[in-house]
Amino acid sequence: MDAFHFFATSWVSPELLGLTALGTFLGIYVGAIPGLSVTMAVSILISFTFSWDVNNALCLMVGVYMGGVYGGSRTAILLNIPGAPSAIATAMDGYPLAKKGLAGEAIGLSTVMSVIGGFVGIIVLALAAPTVSEFAITFQPRDYMMLGVLGIMLVGSLSGNSLAKGIFAGALGLLIGTVGLDPMSAEERFTFGVVDLWDGINPVAVMIGMFGVSEALHQLHHMDKAVVKQKISRIIPKLSDIKKYLPLSLQSSFIGVIVGALPGTGGDIAALMAYDHAKRTTKDPKVPFGEGAKEGLIAPESANNAAVGGAYIPMLTLGIPGDAVTAVFIGALFIHGLNPGPLLLVEQPQMFWFTVGNLTLANIFVLIFGLTGIRLFSKIVECPKGILIPLIFLLSIVGAYAINNAVIDIWWMLAFGAFGYFMRLYGFPVGPVILGVILSSLTDENWRRAILTESGSLGNFFAHIFTSPLSSILFMSIVLIFVSQTSLWKKHLKPRLLRSK
Amino acid sequence: MGLTSHTPRLRSPGVIMSSLLSTQKVRKPGERIFCFLLIVFSVFLFWQAYQIAGFSSLSSSGAFPLAASATMVLASCVVFVNTLKLPAAEGIQFFRHCLPPVVSIIMAIILLYAVAIESLGFILSSLVFLCVCIQLLYRRSPLFTLSISILALIVVYIIFRLVFQVVLPEGVMPERDIIAAITTWWSH
């Protein structure tokens, strides 16, 4: 009964209800406007909501997350420009539908299917998280360390075009996270004798720089892109359509949850996999895929929203973020004094059920806002980039300042913004940097705990890895990701092995 | 349906950039130097990590930074070698497609804004910043720019300063007095 009580916290408080609604509303626009991203918005929001009560801050951010994942589909359908990476697959059939004059129907259908996907994700989160977290209590420090490394490797190998660049970015993030006084021995690390650096570099400043400023600087390359100009008529989808596509939507949702729950994979990959699944299982679609098949719209939309619930599983039970957005989210939880990890469910069950309830609420708001206010929507999305981009810079600077009311954070933010600009320019992914910063202390401390229990012997460390099934699996996964990306495997081993099959 | 389909101009830097980002089979101008600088930077960090505790023990406070910076050195070397192998991109100039003037100018303006925000205060410096940037990026009449900047600033100020209670640098504006005056006037 307690669980239900915590679940309903944000439903019965007018303040929390209002903040969730506001967050979802903002999220839909942030997701829809090309050039604004959920990671950007949540990074900036952390700095502003910093002094708030934790529940209020979480309500706003959960809403932005849920709304943002859905909102990306809007511009994908209307403009063929995915507002968020998770909407790339949506554009493939959504835009052809809009060109046929079915934009309203496509938006309505994608809204309903997103909400169904969202619910599946939340239900799986509520059912699976307690079990995962019970299992996670048996994890050894070395397992945590390897999970951290695994997450960074996965994000690094999936988000960029080269594993070496991803690894570089991840290692850089880990190193940025170690700046300051060592939490275990209070020794100075990379402080160069500057007292201001004792507290380290604020991760929020790194996030705003990498996701806010550097992204906005990149947008300056694309100033001449289109603005929306269209009329949308009927938006409430037909009940027969929903009934007809419900099985596909549920299948896609389960793909979404599972992919979302894996560390390093988020809504974008879930959506592409679900699209592929729909293409393979739909025997004879009314309209071919790529030319406006409704199946091709429903599958990715269900999957990317289901992935939100999935991504919360490792985040809340292991303290390991699945992708860049959840990495930013974990940062927020830490800032508010929560310790995501296996003990969260034991020590603070109210936080877990509060989050589940809040996600459900945000999902309902997605349905409400998704099916209404379309006229206002097209007005706001028309906001020209020449006005939008200066505003992003303004908010980034104010956000960086607001963390500690210190100008030093603005400088860090700008430095990482400029560095992030060049990283993006030359194909280095920035997601692993943030993941590294967030996971740095967890990986560092667990490594030292692990090696201390082995009395400093590397031999014993590896011997114990191979005597524990979980450790061996984690270790083998790390090795596998690494080997599968090297040229030795790609050029020599892969062709031979595949031929022998 | 009044959907405007936009055929992007093929020559626009944005289109060239995005096609480059998706394939990455060529080397962009400045990429070699950037990757080389990353190696230098990584080696410097490795040296700094070594200074923390040397190679004393695997559980020292320097062990993890040493491992991370060593990874950076190795990864940056691999990236550098891979970059050298790629053929140079044709028809792409560093100051036109990679760091176009607009990006450098905006970077410089942001820098000035960051310097000015503490001494001038949030309201004045932000107003100037918004006016300059919007005029530069969205060329309309100065009056339009000024009014849209003021409007945006009022919205931002109300949301963040008054509703979210974020502390913003005051600078030369006697902001607190103005707010106090307004609240007393309001309560009368």
For the stretch A192-201, pLDDT in tens is 888 888 888 8
Mean of pLDDT over chain B: 80
Domain tally for chain B?
2
Q: How many angstroms away from the CA of A475 is the closest CA of chain B?
A: 17
Of A165, A405, A443, the CB nearest to B79: A165
Q: Residues of B with CB below 8 A from A426's CB?
A: 28, 30-31, 34-35
pLDDT tens digits, A218-235: 888 877 655 555 556 667
Range of the domain at B140: 100-187
pLDDT tens digits, A349-377: 888 899 999 999 999 999 999 888 776 77
pLDDT tens digits, A439-453: 888 888 888 888 888
Across residues B18-29, what is the average pLDDT? 60
| End position of a domain, from candidates B68, B94, B120 | B94
Across residues A397-421, what is the average pLDDT? 88
Do residues A477 and A469 touch, judged by C-beta distance below 8 A?
A: no
Range of the domain at A404: 2-140+199-222+235-374+389-431
pLDDT tens digits, A131-169: 888 888 888 888 888 888 887 887 777 666 788 898 999
Q: Is A490 inside a domain boundary?
A: no
B69 in the same domain as B146: no
How many whole angstroms separate alpha carbon B76 and alpha carbon A171? 11
Nearest to A432 by CA among A417, A442, A420, A422: A420
Structure-token pair, residue A9: 């916290």
**Rounded to 5 degrees, what are φ and ψ at A181?**
-75, 135
Domain tally for chain A?
1
Give the max Cα distance, chain A.
70
Q: How many angstroms away from the CA of B71 is the closest CA of chain A?
A: 6
Q: Is B163 inside a domain boundary?
A: yes
Mutation target among A75, A142, A161, A398 for the B interface, most CBs of B within 10 A: A398
Write the CA distances from B28 to A408, B8, B16, integer angstroms.
Answer: 33, 22, 11
CB of A414 within 8 Å of any CB in chain B? yes
Q: Is A109 inside a domain boundary?
A: yes
Provide the 3-class DSSP secondary structure of residue A462.
helix
Write the CA distances from A339 to A21, A183, A263, integer angstroms.
Answer: 26, 16, 18
Residues 93-132 of A with CB under 8 A from B: 98-99, 101, 103
B121 in the same domain as B51: no
Structure-token pair, residue B127: 């107003």
B112 in the same domain as B66: no
- Whether residue A175 and residue B160 make contact (CB cut-off 8 A), yes or no, is no
DSSP state of A237: P
Mutation target among B77, B166, B170 for the A interface, most CBs of A within 10 A: B166
Q: Is A158 inside a domain boundary?
A: no
| End position of a domain, from candidates B74, B94, B114 | B94
Residue with tokens 């596998």: A480
B30 in the same domain as B55: yes
3-state SS record for A359-413? HHHHHHHHHHHHHCCHHHHHHHHCCCHHHHHHHHHHHHHHHHHHHHCCHHHHHHH
Q: How many angstroms away from the CA of B121 is the closest CA of chain A?
A: 11
Q: Is B2 inside a domain boundary?
A: no
Residue B13 has pLDDT above 70, yes or no: no
Q: How many angstroms away from the CA of B77 is the closest CA of chain A?
A: 9
pLDDT of residue B14: 38
Which residue in chain A has the smallest CA separation from B44? A190
pLDDT tens digits, A73-122: 887 888 777 777 778 788 888 888 888 888 888 888 999 999 999 999 99
pLDDT of residue A497: 63
Which residue in chain A has the smallest CA separation from B66? A175
Q: With a cut of 0.85, is the ipTM above it?
A: no
Structure-token pair, residue A160: 């960029």
- Whether residue A401 and residue B133 make contact (CB cut-off 8 A), yes or no, is no
B171 in the same domain as B108: yes
Provide the 3-class DSSP secondary structure of residue A365.
helix
| End position of a domain, from candidates B30, B64, B94 | B94
How many whole angstroms separate alpha carbon A190 and alpha carbon A194? 9
Residue B18 has pLDDT above 50, yes or no: no
Q: How many angstroms away from the CA of A283 is the closest CA of chain B?
A: 31
Give the β-pairing of A188-189 and A180-181: antiparallel
Spell out the residues 6+ positions from residue A1 whose beta carbon is closer than 8 angstroms to its own. none
Q: Residues of A with CB below 8 A from B130's CB?
A: 390-391, 394
- Whether residue A447 and residue B160 make contact (CB cut-off 8 A), yes or no, is no
Q: Is A155 inside a domain boundary?
A: no
Spell out the residues 6+ positions from residue A131 whose beta carbon is closer than 8 angstroms to its own. none
B81 in the same domain as B107: no
Residue A34 has pLDDT above 60, yes or no: yes
B111 in the same domain as B88: no
Do residues B46 and B64 touch, judged by C-beta distance below 8 A?
A: no
Torsion of Cα atoms, B5 then B11 then B16 then B19, to 10°:
50
Which is it for the CA torsion A9, A346, A149, A205, positive or negative?
Answer: positive
pLDDT of residue A127: 92
B87 in the same domain as B107: no
Mutation target among B81, B95, B110 for the A interface, most CBs of A within 10 A: B110
Q: Residues of A with CB below 8 A from B69's CB?
A: 171, 175
pLDDT of residue B80: 93
pLDDT tens digits, A314-351: 888 888 877 777 888 888 888 887 878 888 888 888 88
Q: Residues of B with CB below 8 A from A162's CB?
A: 24, 79, 82
Q: How many angstroms away from the CA of B15 is the closest CA of chain A?
A: 8
pTM: 0.81
Residue A276 has pLDDT above 50, yes or no: yes
Angle at B55 between CA A171 and CA A196, to 5 degrees: 55
